[in-house]
Structure 1
Amino acid sequence: AGGNPRGAVRAWRADASKHPSPNAGPVEASFAGALGVRLGGTLSYGGRVEHRPVLNGEGRDVEVADVERAVALSRRVTALTLAACVGGRLIADAVRHGKHGKRGNA
């Protein structure tokens, strides 16, 4: 979908389970790896300081330009997910109709 796919997989495997959220961990770790940035550490969240595990510790510090890169990556991931869902649905429909056949055709 963009960025560095190997970096995304590496960070996902190494760091996804470190995140306090089982839902956000895989996504944040993968994005950090894909973008080559380091996320986590000491941060302010909801008005209080939190110390979170570092995701993609080998990455560089985040820069302002990385926000646009992350948004672009998110859009590509969304488009690919939509395409995969539509493709899966079309294949499932084709298999179902091919398996049962259509009535009324000679």
Structure 2
Amino acid sequence: MRNPGKHIPNPAYEHAAKLIGKPFLETAKKFEIQFNEIFPGSFSTSKEVQTGDFELRLFQLKAFYRNKPLCLFLLRFPHFHEKFGFPLAPELKILELY
């Protein structure tokens, strides 16, 4: 029986998010930046909102520089539920600097 409170990511979107994030993670590694979660962040704590014709999956990702807190990122992944695809490029925003 499925747990109605637990959401499971679509494997295709999860794979796409990891591919999209690969250059970002490679650049972060060059600057010695690490994260508290596997990219793009925890699906179980992420939020989803409807906007226009598509949905936005919102992830928060805490960044560390040399093991000290650096900032909190907000990653926004626009996507379609009814048809596979991304209507816009993902967005990265700094929510908080430490």
> TM-score over 0.5 for the alignment?
no
Specify the structure having the higher radius of gyration (Cα).
1
Larger relative contact order, structure 1 or 2 (CA cutoff 8 Å, min sep 6): 1
Q: What TM-score bracket applies, with the shorter chain setting the length?
A: under 0.3
Q: Hey, which of these two has a bigger chunk of helix by percent?
A: 1
Q: TM-score, normalised by structure 1?
A: 0.24
Q: Which structure is higher in strand share?
A: 2
TM value normalised by structure 2 = 0.26
